[in-house]
A = this chain, B = another copy of it.
Amino acid sequence: MRTFETVLAQIEQRIAADGLTVGDRLPGERQLAEQLRVSRSSVREALRVLETLGVVSSQVGRGPDAGAVLISRPDGTLADLLRLNLGLTTMSAREVLDTRLMIERWSAARVTWAPPAMTEALAAMDLAASPEEFVTHDIAFHVALTDAAGNRLLSAVLRALRDALVSNAVEAVRRLGHTDDLQADHRRIHTAVEAGDGEEAVEAVTAHLARAYPGLSPIQNVF
C-alpha cells in the first residue's frame, strides 16, 4: 500500500475519532506529516485526494494560529467514498447514486447558512424575463443547494444530468405559465436552509418538485 493511502486511512480515522465536523480543521501539513511519520509530500497527495472527494478544502496563508485544512463533509460515509474512489476495497456506484444518501448528507451537514449564490439566484429569478433565463438561475439556485450538501463527486453526476434536462425545465416553466408558485417554493427552501432546518428543506424541495413536475410519482425526490 502506498504511503499516502495509509495517510488517507489515518486521517479518516482521526476524523472519526475526534468527531470532527463541518468547519473543523485538521492539523497543518507539516504537523500532520510529523505526527504520521511521513513526508509532507505524502500528506499533500492524501489531501489532494480528500479534496477531490470533497471532504477537505485547503486555503493558504492562515496565520500563525492553528488549523490548516478544513473539513467540508465529514459524515460517516467518508470511508465508503474513500474505498470507492481509490478502489481500495469495494464500492458500488449505486450507493453513490442514491439520492436519499444525499438527503441524509445534506441534513447531516447541519448547514446553518444559505450560500450567497443561492440568495443571488433567488433574486435573479425574480427579474427573469424569459423561461430560459428563469431556468438558468433556477439551476444556479439548486446548484448552490447541492453544494451546501458537500459531495462534489455526487454533485458532478447530478449536474451533468441537470444540464441535459434544461429543455425539460424550460418546458415545465412554460407549462405553468408563471413563476410565482415556483418562487414561493424557492423562498421556502431558502428560508429552511438559512434556518438550518434540514427536514423542512427536504420537504420544501419535494413539494417544489411535485409542482414543477406534476406527473412525477410521489417518490421521495430530492433536488
Q: Which residues of A contact B (CB under 8 A)?
A: 4, 41, 44-45, 48-49, 51-54, 77, 80-81, 84-87, 89-102, 104, 139-140, 142-143, 145-147, 152-153, 155-165, 167-168, 171-172, 175, 209, 213, 215-217, 219-223
CB < 8 Å neighbour of A157 from B87, B93, B219: B93
Chain B residues with CB under 8 Å of A77's CB are 160
Chain B residues with CB under 8 Å of A155's CB are 84, 90-92
A93 touches B45 (CB 8 A): no
CB < 8 Å neighbour of A153 from B85, B147, B171, B209: B85
B41 touches A91 (CB 8 A): no
Q: List 24 A-B contacts (CB under 8 A).
A: A44-B45, A49-B51, A77-B160, A80-B160, A84-B156, A85-B156, A87-B168, A89-B215, A90-B143, A90-B156, A91-B146, A91-B163, A91-B213, A92-B142, A92-B168, A92-B223, A93-B161, A93-B165, A94-B162, A95-B209, A96-B161, A97-B157, A98-B98, A104-B217
Q: How far is the CA of A52 from the CA of B100 in the complex (A)?
A: 23
Q: How far is the CA of A178 from the CA of B94 in the complex (A)?
A: 21
If A48-B49, A91-B139 are given as contacts, then 10 extra A-B residue pairs at C-beta distance below 8 Å, sorted by A number, are A44-B45, A48-B52, A84-B165, A87-B168, A91-B146, A92-B102, A92-B162, A92-B213, A92-B222, A96-B161
As for how many copies of this chain the complex holds, the number is 2
Chain B residues with CB under 8 Å of A217's CB are 95, 101, 104
Chain B residues with CB under 8 Å of A159's CB are 80, 84, 89-93
B168 touches A222 (CB 8 A): no
B216 touches A92 (CB 8 A): yes
B95 touches A168 (CB 8 A): no
CB < 8 Å neighbour of A143 from B91, B163, B223: B91
Chain B residues with CB under 8 Å of A94's CB are 99, 161-162, 165, 209, 213, 219, 221-223
B164 touches A153 (CB 8 A): yes
Chain B residues with CB under 8 Å of A142's CB are 91-92
A81 touches B156 (CB 8 A): yes
B219 touches A86 (CB 8 A): no
A222 touches B162 (CB 8 A): no
